[in-house]
């Protein structure tokens, strides 16, 4: 399906995720839910991808799970409500122009810019036992910049913790435009961060929901598994005994209610918890009820897609993404005065 003139006239947005396995509620509320709203609002030309090359920056020694994880993530994209008729959904490695632009941008990017990215030292400290002294790990923010700039988007929907990456992308685009012009104009527009709401979502142990902590509730977890995980969830430490009053504002289960439960349930939680009128087991059961209401339609959509459906979605998405990416690369190559690529090679 070719992009229509109406689609092209809308501001473009671009975002993606690394394929680290099935997605969880933290991924959903932190990104996917917002992406679906951007898509359904009709204001934006949406591109959402799976960053499989990025998975290799830390897991290069054992890539055995990347293919299966990519399949799981695209299923979760579709299950959450991303629609291939409204958004371009694709896998990063299916669009080789990402790698070409990354190479060209590496010629002008200072090492100091990459070394000061906040997550560079943080991940080196946190991912103990892995050799991260590789160019791929140092350069992953530049690959991320290429992922963005190849589509010349207006906005990149991110949470506050990702703003630094968008700022690096803007710096790279600015330097490129200083060195290279095409008919006197800039080729790579500087994208803006589109800050999206990301509510506090704790995992079952009270920490931030994360696969690395093993505390997640997956979008694909069946109802019995959701209820089992909720039963083990930590609560307000002040409630040692059933008769002790608690405070939902200090309780991870209370945080889940605030995000997923209807107003009437939240009122019952506050009244019952603060007076010890309800126990934590009952409160967790209400939270599970709310989560199941959210997850049921997601899981029904997931089950409706066959393997061939997924392959068709990714093939169509790759074709559309490659066509758009090549438009940018034609301009980049011309601005850098590189030899035009023969038509047969393209």
DSSP state of 221: -
Q: Give per-residue pLDDT as tens, 68-120.
A: 999 999 999 999 999 999 999 999 999 999 999 999 999 999 999 998 887 77
What single-letter DSSP state applies at residue 162? G
74 and 168 part of one domain: yes
Domain span at 285: 221-301
Same domain, 117 and 256: no
Specify if 102 maps to a domain: yes
Q: Do 96 and 12 lie in a common domain?
A: yes
Rounded to 5 degrees, φ, ψ at 84 are: -65, -15
pLDDT in tens, 190-240: 999 999 888 889 999 999 999 888 999 999 999 999 999 999 999 999 999
Domain co-membership, 278 together with 314? no
Contact by Cβ (8 Å): 52, 64? no
Question: What does 59-101 look like in DSSP terms, one character per residue?
Answer: HTT--TTHHHHHHHHHHHHHHHT--TTTEEEEEGGG-THHHHH
Lowest-confidence segment of 75-79, 121-125, 204-208, 278-282 by average pLDDT: 121-125
Residue 343 domain-assigned?
Answer: no
CA distance 326 to 192: 22
Structural domain count, the chain: 2
CATH number at residue 315: 3.40.50.620
Q: Give start and end residues of each alpha helix (H) in 139-222.
A: 140-149, 163-179
Judge whether 320 lies within some domain: yes
In a domain, 233, yes or no: yes
Please check whether residue 341 lies inside any domain of the structure: no
pLDDT at residue 344 in the model: 60
Of 160, 82, 77, 88, nearest to 118 by C-alpha is: 160
Between CA 29 and CA 27 the distance in angstroms is: 6
């Amino acid at each position: 399906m070719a992009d229509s003139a109406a689609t092209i006239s809308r501001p473009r947005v671009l975002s993606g995720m690394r394929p680290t396995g099935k997605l969880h509620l933290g991924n959903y509320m932190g990104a996917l839910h917002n992406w679906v709203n951007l898509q359904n609002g009709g204001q934006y030309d949406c591109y959402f991808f799976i960053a499989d090359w990025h998975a290799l920056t830390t897991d290069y020694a054992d890539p055995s799970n990347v293919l299966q994880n990519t399949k799981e993530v695209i299923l979760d994209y579709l299950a959450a409500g991303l629609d291939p008729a409204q958004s371009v959904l694709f896998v990063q490695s299916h669009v080789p122009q990402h790698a070409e632009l990354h190479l060209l941008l590496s010629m002008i990017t200072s090492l100091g810019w990459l070394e000061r990215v906040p997550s560079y030292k943080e991940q080196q400290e946190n991912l103990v036992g892995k050799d991260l002294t590789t160019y791929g790990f140092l350069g992953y923010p530049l690959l991320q910049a290429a992922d963005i700039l190849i589509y010349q988007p207006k906005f990149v929907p991110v949470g506050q913790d990702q703003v630094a990456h968008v700022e690096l992308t803007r710096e790279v685009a600015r330097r490129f435009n200083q060195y290279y012009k095409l008919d006197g104009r800039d080729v790579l527009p500087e994208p803006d961060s589109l800050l999206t709401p990301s509510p506090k979502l704790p995992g079952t142990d009270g920490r931030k929901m994360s696969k690395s902590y093993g505390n997640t509730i997956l979008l694909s977890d069946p109802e019995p598994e959701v209820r089992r995980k909720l039963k083990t969830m930590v609560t307000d430490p002040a409630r040692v005994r059933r008769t002790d009053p608690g405070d939902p504002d200090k309780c991870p289960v209370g945080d889940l209610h605030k995000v997923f439960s209807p107003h009437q349930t939240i009122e019952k939680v506050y009244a019952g918890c603060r007076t010890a009128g309800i126990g934590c087991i009952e409160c967790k059961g209400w939270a599970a009820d709310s989560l199941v209401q959210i997850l049921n339609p997601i899981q029904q959509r997931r089950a409706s897609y066959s393997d061939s459906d997924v392959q068709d979605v990714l093939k169509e998405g790759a074709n559309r993404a490659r066509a758009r990416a090549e438009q940018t690369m034609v301009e980049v190559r011309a601005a850098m005065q590189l030899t035009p690529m023969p038509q047969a090679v393209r």
